[in-house]
Amino acid sequence: MKRDFLHITDFTADEIHETFALAREVKARLKNREDYKPFKDHTMAMIFAKPSARTRISFETGFFRLGGHAIYLGPSDISIGKREAVKDIARVVSRYNDVIMARLFSHEHGLELAQYASVPVVNGLTDYNHPCQIMADMFTILEHRGHLNDLKVVYVGDGNNIVNSWLRLAQRLPFHFVCACPENYQPDARTFVEAQQAGLSMVEVSHAPLAAVKDADIVYTDVWASMGQKEEAEKRKIEFQGFQVNDELMAATGKESLFMHCLPVERDVETTDSVVESPASIVFDEAENRMHAQNAILLKLCGKA
């Protein structure tokens, strides 16, 4: 049976821990320039319906460094679901490639792609979630803290695809997760209930960011208007008043908290330039670790680890 990685919950807790250990090992091998080419003679199709910097670069570079070849298919190449049915593309691409990475609007298209593909499919973001990002994020937290005990992560901003992946992770690993968002911008209701019902992590929604961040180890934010919502950007700037991660909010943790953002950041909108540039900010470690976490995920899915 081929495996896919469309949600963090597609992996067990043990597999998530194994992925972090493998990411650490492969990261060291790449830093040491070891001759390690598990993907020799392998190809990966990367289907992008949306723009990207980190996802494209980290997947393409990572796969190349492990001996493989990655093919970038931009929004106008395949036009998935428009020029051609998702289920047809799934089977065609599977005939040429060993693995598929897809960044799509519709999460349902991602599910359909995986259903019809005969090779593993990795989710590089949909409107619903962004599992590779949050795997890289937790790996980054593990690197910085040395452990994941007594961890409080407070996300401040839009209850979007990033939050849904944090809530999925909370179903597998124990930590305290708070989403501080305006009332009309809550995370997916079903995902939130599932995270609560898993009974592993404490998960909360708050509408009071200054109070929510108290004792936070991590303060995390993301853009207020995601890809596909940019026409709402001005309206959202008004509705998200009070939810900016600025120096005052960081001070309200009362702790030496770390700042994280999946990037790209809109400076002086959801967070300030001063926070991004502060010593608390680990956003570039986080960006680098996309590559290492994804390499580990690909190695596991392709039966190389």
Query: What count of residues does the chain have?
Result: 305
Helices marked H in the chain: 13-31, 54-65, 75-78, 86-96, 107-116, 131-145, 161-169, 189-197, 209-212, 233-239, 247-251, 273-276, 283-301
Name the residues that contact ligand NVA, by CB under 6 A.
125, 160-162, 222-223, 226-227, 262
Residue 300 interacts with, from ligand NVA, ligand CP, none (CB under 5-8 Å by kind): none
Fill in the amino acid letter for 170: A
Residue 162 interacts with, from ligand NVA, ligand CP, none (CB under 5-8 Å by kind): ligand NVA
Closest CB to ligand NVA among 68 and 124? Answer: 124
Shortest Å, Cβ 162 to ligand NVA: 5
Specify the stretch interacting with ligand CP by CB under 6 A; choose among 51-59, 93-101, 147-155, 193-201.
51-59
Distances in Å between the Cα of 281 and the Cα atoms of 31, 77, 106, 162, 213 are 23, 36, 31, 18, 16
Catalytic site residues? 262
Residue 53 interacts with, from ligand NVA, ligand CP, none (CB under 5-8 Å by kind): ligand CP
CA 160/CA 163 separation, integer angstroms: 5
CA 257/CA 252 separation, integer angstroms: 10
Q: Rule CB under 6 A: is residue 52 a binding residue for ligand CP?
A: yes
Closest CB to ligand NVA among 25 and 285? Answer: 285
Q: Out of 7, 27, 54, 236, name the contact with ligand CP by CB under 6 A.
A: 54
Residue 212 interacts with, from ligand NVA, ligand CP, none (CB under 5-8 Å by kind): none
